[in-house]
Amino acid sequence: DKFPLIRLLEDNAITFEEYLFFCGQHFFSGGVFLLNAICFSEMAFLGRDFAFQALVEHLNKFSLIENIVLTNSFFSSQPLWMMDYKDRHYRTHMVWYAQNVRPIAYKADGIQSDFPHYRHLHCDEHWVWTEEFRDYLTSIDVNSKIHIVGPILFYLCPPKLNLQRRFDREEVLISLFDVTPVRNEIRIKNGLGDYYCTKNMTLFLTEIVEVMNFLKTVLNINFRIILKTKRAYAPVHDPKYLDFLEDLEQKGLIELLLYNENLYSLISNSDVVIAPPYSSPVLIGHKLGVPSIFFDPTQDVASVFSNKANVFFASGRQELVGFIRESITRKLAKQRMSDRSVTNDSYRKTTC
């Protein structure tokens, strides 16, 4: 629901006296805000906070709010009543449904920066994917209780995943994940940074396709490359990039999947997972035991992960070739051992 507080009021009947008291509180809050805004113009920034103050007081009085959940999509805006409200009966939770929430770190800079509004992020509890991200939040003075729960998606992991699929050298499945670039004017207007631009995302896919063609010849293996885009296409996205994807698909170089494909099912059926820094599907692949890596074709980006995170990062084509080659070699060796074990078992049964 777009306005959950109003929905709570609608779903819980109140007496006429309570309604009059609520209206009086609401108009009183409006008057206080107007008076303060006249005296201190900066108060105008708190208009939305005051607008819901009386409603929150009413809902809290009757303990109608148990928990308030924020996500990556809304964490930059926290009304005062969420935390700085006396005698509140509810708890606030920040659910990090994606881990790609840190600014791109460049090798040339030699430093890692943070988004300024993280300093003002106040919640009772945080729900994160990894110990690595918990340590990051702690490093920027987030003192709330932090739960490490693994990947957080908007759907559950299927009860049965194909994590033991047989390796087939006739169709090695390479799953790619992009960050769909927006039009330049949108990117500049909203301060979205330069890395996830059409030039870099096009280079990301071009390099991978060329690497796969090289390894196909060297390893005598057929690769099937599929791409799941991050979001449904919208007018804000760069049409040049979308044309580029269609051209790759028409040439038979990649297969395009729907943006809402189940990540658990897709990744568990993959042989290798590749995404640009620091996109979350790589962490899902790591959790499921599928060889997964961040790939930076520009060779300008630094990894923000510590060694204990055990997350792989390829800077440039040669490092990507080395990672995929090693991953495929290990899979081939594992498959040979499995086939040999099956053959031995069959032999024993035959001779008994």
Q: How far is CA 286 from CA 264, 292, 301, 304, in A?
A: 11, 6, 20, 16
CB 103 within 8 A of CB 129: no
Pair of tokens at residue 295: 């790939």
Cα-trace Rg, the chain: 26
Residues with Cβ within 8 Å of 284's Cβ and at least 6 positions away in sequence, in order, are 151, 263, 264, 267, 273, 292
* Token pair 């709330």 in the structure block, residue: 144
Quick one: the chain helix, strand, coil %, rounded to 5? Answer: 45, 15, 40
| Cis ω for the linkage preceding 278 (within 30 of 0) | yes
Residue-by-residue pLDDT tens, the chain, 352 positions: 678 898 998 899 889 999 999 999 999 999 999 999 999 998 888 898 899 989 999 999 999 999 999 888 777 778 888 877 778 899 999 999 988 888 899 999 888 888 777 777 888 999 999 998 998 888 888 888 999 999 999 888 877 766 566 666 678 999 999 999 989 888 878 777 789 999 999 999 999 999 999 999 998 889 999 999 888 888 889 999 999 999 999 999 999 998 888 899 999 989 999 999 999 999 999 999 999 999 999 999 998 887 766 789 999 999 999 999 999 988 888 777 766 665 555 555 555 5
Number of neighbouring beta carbons within 10 Å of residue 265? 14
